[in-house]
Structure 1
Amino acid sequence: MKIYIFRHAQKAVDFSGDPDLTLEGHSQAVKLMEKVLKNELPTPTQLWVSPRKRTHSTFRPLAEQLKLPLQEQEALQEQTSDETIVDFRKRVKNLLTGASTLTQDVVFMCSHYDWVVEALAVIPSDTDFSSDYEYAHWSPCQHMGFEVSEDGFFKFIELKRINL
C-alpha cells in the first residue's frame, strides 16, 4: 500500500479561524489533480482530509474528477490548544498505524504543517527525517510518498512540491 502525506495548498489570510485557499492555492489543487491524471502521482483510492476548509479545497478537484469522497479524519486536525505534545503525537501515530493496515489502498492524506512535522517524527522509516533541512520546512501543497510494508514499515518514495 502507499500513503501520500500532503500539506494543504496555500491558505488565505483571514480571521475566521478556518480560512479557505488563496487563488494560488486553488491553482495548486488543480495542478495536483493534473499530476494524478498524468500519472506523475499514483491514483488514490482514498482521500483523507482534516476538518478544515483548506484541506477539503486542496483535494476537492481530485475528488470530483475521480468521483471519490473526501473522508474527514478528526485525527488529521492541527494540534489543539488543550492538547499536549505527547497526546498530539499519539494521535498522529495512531492514525498512521491504522492507515498502514489498508493493504491494497493508495491513501492521500491532507493535513497541516504541525501535523506533518509530527508524522515525520513518528513514522517508522528507512530515512531519518530529522537530520536534513529538506524535510524540516513544508511549503503549501508539498507532499511525501511512502510504500508501506505489511509490517508497518514506511519506505520513503519521494518528496515533491506542487509549483505553479
Structure 2
Amino acid sequence: MKIYVFRHAQKAMDFSGDPDLTAEGHAQASKLLDKVLKEELPRPTELWVSPKKRTHSTFRPLSQHLGLPLITQDALLEQKGDETLSDFRKRISKLLENAATKSEATIFMCSHYDWVVEAMGVAPADKDLSDAEFSHWSPCQHVGFHVNSDGVFEFIELKRIQL
C-alpha cells in the first residue's frame, strides 16, 4: 500500500479561520491532477482531507475527475489550542497506523503545515524524517511512502507541485 501526505495548496489570506485557495493554489490543485493523469504520481484509491476548505479544494479536481469521494478526517486538522504536543502526535500516529491497515489502498492525505511536520516525526519510516529536508513544507508539497507488511513506511519521494 502507499500513502502520500500533502500540505494543502496555497491558501488565500483572509481572517475567516477557514480560507480557501488562491488562484495559484487552484492551479496547483489542477497540476496535481495532471501529475496523476500523466502517471507521475500513483492513482489514489482514497482521498482523505481535513475539514478545512483548503484541503477540500486541493483534492477537489482529483475527486471530480476520478470519481472518488473526499473523506473528511478530523484527525488531519492542525493542532488544537488546548491539545498538547504529545496528544497531537498521538492523534497523528493513530491516523497513520489506521491508514497502514488498508493493504491494497493508495491513500492521498491532505493536511496542514504543522500536521505534516509532526507526521514526519512520528511516521515509522525507514529514513530519518527529522532531517532539515523535511522541516519546511511549501504549499502542495508532498511525501510518498510504500507501507510494507511490517508497517514500516518506506520513503519513495519528496516533491512539490511546480507551476
* TM-score band, normalised by shorter chain: over 0.9
* Mapping 1:119-134, distance limit 5 Å: 119-131=119-131, 133-134=132-133
1:108-127 correspondence to structure 2 within 5 Å: 108-127=108-127
Report the count of equivalent residues: 163
Asked if structure 2 preserves the Cα contact closer than 8 Å seen for 1:121 and 1:129, the reply is yes
Query: Which residue number in structure 2 is paired with residue 27 of structure 1?
Result: 27
Unaligned runs of 5+ in 2: none
Q: Runs in 1 of length 4+ with deviation above 4 angstroms?
A: none
Question: Structure 1 length as normaliser, TM-score?
Answer: 0.98
Residue identity (%): 68
1:93-121 per-residue CA deviation (whole Å, 9 max, x = no partner) reads 00000000000000000000000011100
Deviation at 1:148, TM superposition (A): 0.1
Give the unaligned 5+ runs of structure 1: none
For residues 66-145 of structure 1, what are the structure 2 equivalents within 5 Å? 66-131=66-131, 133-145=132-144
**Alignment partner, residue 148 of structure 2:** 149
Q: Give the TM-score taking structure 2 as reference length.
A: 0.99
- The answer to whether residue 39 in structure 2 is matched with residue 39 in structure 1 is yes
Q: Secondary structure at the match of 2:35?
A: helix
CA–CA distance in structure 2, aligned partners of residues 117 and 92 of structure 1: 11
**C-alpha root-mean-square deviation of aligned residues, in Å?**
0.5
* Residue 77 of structure 1: how far off its partner (Å): 0.4
Match of 1:140, as an amino acid? P
Q: What is the alpha-carbon distance in structure 1 between the residues aligned to residue 3 and residue 19 of structure 2?
A: 26
Give distance in 2, aligned partners of 1:84 and 1:95: 17
Q: Give the 3-state SS of the residue equivalent to 1:41 in structure 2.
A: coil
Preserved contact between residue 101 and residue 150 of structure 1 (Cα < 8 Å)? no
